[in-house]
Amino acid sequence: MNDPAVYLSELEFALLASPIVSEYRVVRSWANTDDGYIRIRARLMNGDFLEAIEYFALQGDQIVTVDYRHQWMDGNRQSLRQRWDSTRDHPALPDFPYHVHTGDEKTVSPSHPLSVLEVLKLIEGTLLSA
């Protein structure tokens, strides 16, 4: 994959086709020849809420996730389920700056760069196996 506009189309198709997404809205997106951005808000089949923000760039002939924040909340947006992000606020963790908050802001684990597509797959795996 080497076209940011095509990548954005694939993201939207994945949201439409996902068995866990009941509705979604693209808040903002753009694509240049070598980078792009998308911000979405989605309601999930169990009533939960997902907000995903990804900045990506073309590196060689591949799209690479550069910066992101994907937040999965309960349906009332009162409780954090998980938030994957690349904010540079936990420098002691391996694979800094990539990390995930689970259950609350204080429970932080190392992670790796995650695209919207990868987060969608992770949540699908969790919700569909429950």
Give per-residue pLDDT as tens, 52-73.
999 999 999 999 999 999 999 9
Q: Which pLDDT tens digit goes with each residue over 22-32? A: 999 999 999 99
> pTM for the complete prediction?
0.91
Domain of 61 in residue numbering reads as 4-129
Q: What's the total number of domains in the chain? A: 1
In 3-state terms the chain splits into helix, strand, coil percentages (rounded to 5) of 20, 45, 35
Q: What is residue 1's predicted lDDT score, i.e. its pLDDT?
A: 65
Where does the pLDDT of residue 87 fall: very low under 50, low under 70, confident under 90, or very high at 90 and above?
confident
- 40, 15, 10: which is closest to 25 by C-alpha? 40
Residue 83 has pLDDT above 90, yes or no: yes
